[in-house]
Structure 1
Amino acid sequence: MQDKALDILIAGGGIGGLTAALALQARGHRVRVCEATPQLKPLGVGINLLPHAVAVLDGLGLLPALQAMAVPTSALVFANRHGQAIYRDARGLGGGYSHPQLSIHRGELQLLLWREAAERLGEARLLSGQRVLAARTEGERVVAQLQASDGSHSELSADLLIGADGIHSALRRQFYPDEGAPRWNGMMMWRGTSRARPFLDGRTMVQAGHRRAKFVVYPIAPVAEDGLQLINWICDRRLREDGFGGGLSAPSREDWSKPGSLDDLLPTFGSWHFDWLDVPALIRSATQLLEWPMVDRDPLPRWRHGRITLLGDAAHPMYPIGSNGATQAILDADCLAQALQQGATPEAALDAYEAQRLPMCARIVEMNRQEGLDAILDLVEERAPAGFKRLEDVIDPAEIDALVRRYKAAAGHQQTR
């Protein structure tokens, strides 16, 4: 049993890194977080937190604050490009889970976690404007090399170092210098937010279309006094075709999260008028529009190197399918904190964390390369491109249900009924 309080340094103040900081501090460890951004702002768009991730945040006492700012997702609906429903998967409490599924603004969630970490750890232990460049081991200590936003350099020593510094992780690159750029599957994503009237029940997430063109939409804030709701939407359009699983070199990093253009979207999505949503009108009303490539990396053989390990996108970047990105990072954080509480030594604890999390996340990476649950959309598009009168004439609902159950089991969904 590892009962000694450890000095732990976390590289990265994103959702995974901050959740890890809170979980480790709750178990008595002394934690510092290095975040490269000098000042956090509520940037970004929406994400979904699956119930098992919400359960972790609830255990940290954050559920009331999350519920005040998020939307409890009632269902995930798959639809064709004509807006016809193919499958409705009940989510959250209504789907038999112990906790709600929450649709939330990524930036607002990160700021909430940062504020909580500042209060619980102490503001002095949150080092903004400090990027971890590399690390070395000296006996039983790890020494991290930092670069400040003003270009100056310094070092920090700790018992453990957790690399939660994202898909472009410097620590991952240190251990795997020949890995190269992230793998791109030829799909570009345009992500936006709009203020609009609620659609359907105001709590539903919809994925419509197929692997060449897909539209994802869900609300990420409660309905305001003016009757409008902040709606998150994503337009996926395949620019290059190379089969499943990526293999293309990703666009240069400088082109990530750049402002998008309606001219890139309306030729494809401009005619997607659903009975329950006017897609082009929603796109045109965007308050922000950003462009990203859909990328991942191959699963690693191991995450631990001495007393350094990886977490979240630094460990297992995956395509944003199945709401698994932030969710799996949060589960990493919880598992790591538990392993350190139970392990005989720090090294044994890191090995136990890796043994539990690496195989599952590698499996999700591979499933998402095969489109994950979005494969349902491809089946229906292939069999009924013009739409359908009766879904049963196109696909057996039992076939869809079996696919959903397999994916959810592999991704760690835990329904209580």
Structure 2
Amino acid sequence: MKIVVVGAGIGGLATALSLDAAGFRDIEVYERADELRGLGVGINLLPHAVRELTELGIVQRISTLGVEPTSLAYFNAQGQPIWSEPRGLAAGYRWPQLSVHRGRLQLALRDAVLERLGDVIRTGHRLLEVVPGEDADTARFETAAGVVEVAADVIVGADGIHSSLRAQHNPEEGAPAWGGLTLWRGVAYAPPFLDGRTMIMAGHGDQKFVAYPLGEADESGRMRINFIAEKRGAGTASVDWNRAVEIGPIAELFADWRYDWLDVPALISSAEELLEYPMVDRDPLERWTVGRSTLLGDAAHAMYPNGSNGGSQAIIDSRVLAFHLGTAATASEGLAAYEADRRPATAALLAQTREAGPEKVMVLAEQRAPGGFEHIHDVIGADELERVATDYKKAAGFHPALLNERASLTVSRAAEARG
């Protein structure tokens, strides 16, 4: 079986590795960019994704790229604590949570693909269309040398929020929907905050700040910190992950956010650069699979980053797809099983992210006590706080009890049986 993966981002590379682990040997990855440069800022890999990376045998190389946060804490805009919970191993998972640089993760996955599959990544290939055929579908790519056609038994569109494959099958959809919030992402070297292992979120539905460490403190006591500043009514709807903006005006938006445990405007001001990105997503599709082609990751279910789950969901997609292709009698049955498994689950998760996901506790605190509070339980009861956190974990597939007991997605069928 020949499988073509469109897109060499986290989802596409994880798909190649997952398919290889499932015993498939004729796999090629086609990437629009001329080279993989490892761009971006921080990303959180939640325990359900780390489990899959562990079973793929590559978690060790990825764990060296960042740190394991041991807790997640929510605060209001005044810096008062709302909710805190352990994360990763400290929360009873069998796998940790990892905070890493997105670009370094992508390059680590690329290196693993090259080591295991060989020279299968083709850069400088922009997907034009997929043409259905009698015995195979054909992916047509634009390259510097002209149009290249590649026939395959399965074509996986892992080409991101601007997916060409998704657009081909949903021409009426248009641009991603912008809800008015803009994100500014950056990385800065600064003194550790709190215990140096905590991921924090502060603010409410109209303005928020997120920060977490990406590495250990250096000899000077500073550590690499990833942050996201977010505000409604600023920026534009133009979707470009790599658009840098002036730092000063963004720091000024958070001028009053100075806490005894973190100076938010100072952290923003010390960033290496600031990348602007609108908070956008796409509505759920009625189907991902058309003929021999299907969608994966942001191409299938781009969602708000509430809950830090986008990259993790792409990795899970890749493993579920490989599992079903590796255990079904035919490719079409495998694709149908993959979609039946993942499309409803990600649609439900997308709906939760639109309601702020686990960050709903900050929205509730602002609604009920905009000026602050003496104690959070005067505003939100402990049971309600716990319920918000638990409901999201269940929807996203990483509730500790459910994840720890879930069956493995590793395919044991021998490669020779596939031909």
What range describes the TM-score normalised by the shorter chain of this pair? over 0.9
SS at match of 1:315: helix
Give the corresponding residue for 2:187. 193
Say yes or no: does 1:135 pair with 2:130: yes
Kindly report which structure 2 residues correspond to 1:18-57, keeping only aligned pairs within 5 A, or say none. Answer: 18-29=13-24, 30-57=26-53
Give the corresponding residue for 1:102. 98
Q: Distance in 2 between matches of 1:221 and 1:13?
A: 25
Aligned partner (choices 245, 261, 286) of residue 301 of structure 1 = 286
Q: Distance in 2 between matches of 1:268 and 1:95?
A: 34
Give the direction of change, closer, same or farther, for the CA distance of 1:94–1:296 in structure 2 (3 Å limit): same
Q: Distance in 2 between matches of 1:39 and 1:222?
A: 30
Kindly report which structure 2 residues correspond to 1:11-410, keeping only aligned pairs within 5 A, or say none. Answer: 11-29=6-24, 30-123=26-119, 125-148=120-143, 150=144, 152-239=146-233, 251-253=237-239, 257-410=242-395
Is contact 1:79-1:87 (8 Å) kept? yes
Is contact 1:12-1:164 (8 Å) kept? yes
Give structure 2 stretches of 5+ with no counterpart: 405-419
Give the corresponding residue for 2:4. 9
Measured after TM superposition, the shift of residue 268 of structure 1 is 2.3
SS at match of 1:154: strand
Q: Which amino acid aligns with 1:329?
A: A
Q: Distance in 2 between matches of 1:140 and 1:84?
A: 62
Q: Distance in 2 between matches of 1:220 and 1:19?
A: 21
Measured after TM superposition, the shift of residue 358 of structure 1 is 0.2
Q: Which amino acid aligns with 1:179?
A: E
Q: Distance in 2 between matches of 1:280 and 1:176?
A: 42
Is contact 1:105-1:221 (8 Å) kept? no
SS at match of 1:265: helix
Q: Which amino acid aligns with 1:143?
A: T
Deviation by residue 1:313-370 (Cα, 9 ceiling, x = unmatched): 0000000110110010000000000001111110000000000000010011111111
Q: Which amino acid aligns with 1:252?
A: S
Q: Distance in 1 between matches of 2:363 and 2:111?
A: 42
Q: Distance in 2 between matches of 1:106 and 1:186?
A: 25
Q: Distance in 2 between matches of 1:256 and 1:92?
A: 28
Q: Which amino acid aligns with 2:318?
A: A
Measured after TM superposition, the shift of residue 151 of structure 1 is 6.1
TM (norm. structure 1) is 0.93
Measured after TM superposition, the shift of residue 42 of structure 1 is 2.4
Measured after TM superposition, the shift of residue 37 of structure 1 is 1.3
Task: Tell me the number of residue pairs that the alignment of Structure 1 and Structure 2 aligns.
Answer: 400
Q: Distance in 2 between matches of 1:151 and 1:224?
A: 47
Q: Distance in 1 between matches of 2:281 and 2:375?
A: 37
Q: Which amino acid aligns with 2:231?
A: R
SS at match of 1:82: coil
Give the corresponding residue for 2:414. none
Q: Distance in 1 between matches of 2:218 and 2:38?
A: 19
Measured after TM superposition, the shift of residue 402 of structure 1 is 1.0
Is contact 1:256-1:293 (8 Å) kept? no
Q: Which amino acid aligns with 2:291?
A: G
TM (norm. structure 2) is 0.93
Is contact 1:69-1:222 (8 Å) kept? no
Is contact 1:213-1:268 (8 Å) kept? no
Q: Distance in 1 between matches of 2:400 and 2:361?
A: 21
Measured after TM superposition, the shift of residue 49 of structure 1 is 0.5
SS at match of 1:71: coil
Give structure 1 stretches of 5+ with no counterpart: 1-5, 241-249
Give the direction of change, closer, same or farther, for the CA distance of 1:41–1:394 in structure 2 (3 Å limit): same
Q: Distance in 1 between matches of 2:21 and 2:376?
A: 50
Q: Which amino acid aligns with 1:23?
A: S
Q: Distance in 2 between matches of 1:397 and 1:381?
A: 16
Q: Which amino acid aligns with 2:56?
A: L
Is contact 2:23-2:326 (8 Å) kept? no
Is contact 1:23-1:334 (8 Å) kept? yes
Measured after TM superposition, the shift of residue 46 of structure 1 is 0.4
Is contact 2:247-2:273 (8 Å) kept? no
Measured after TM superposition, the shift of residue 152 of structure 1 is 2.3
SS at match of 1:195: strand
Give the corresponding residue for 1:246. none
Is contact 1:73-1:204 (8 Å) kept? yes
Is contact 2:190-2:267 (8 Å) kept? yes
RMSD: 1.4
Following TM superposition, the consecutive aligned residue runs of length 4 or more in structure 1 with deviations greater than 4 angstroms are none
Measured after TM superposition, the shift of residue 414 of structure 1 is 3.3
Q: Which amino acid aligns with 1:113?
A: L
Give the corresponding residue for 2:415. none
Q: Which amino acid aligns with 1:70?
A: G
Is contact 1:7-1:159 (8 Å) kept? yes
Among all aligned residue pairs of Structure 1 and Structure 2, give the percentage whose two residues are the same amino acid: 47
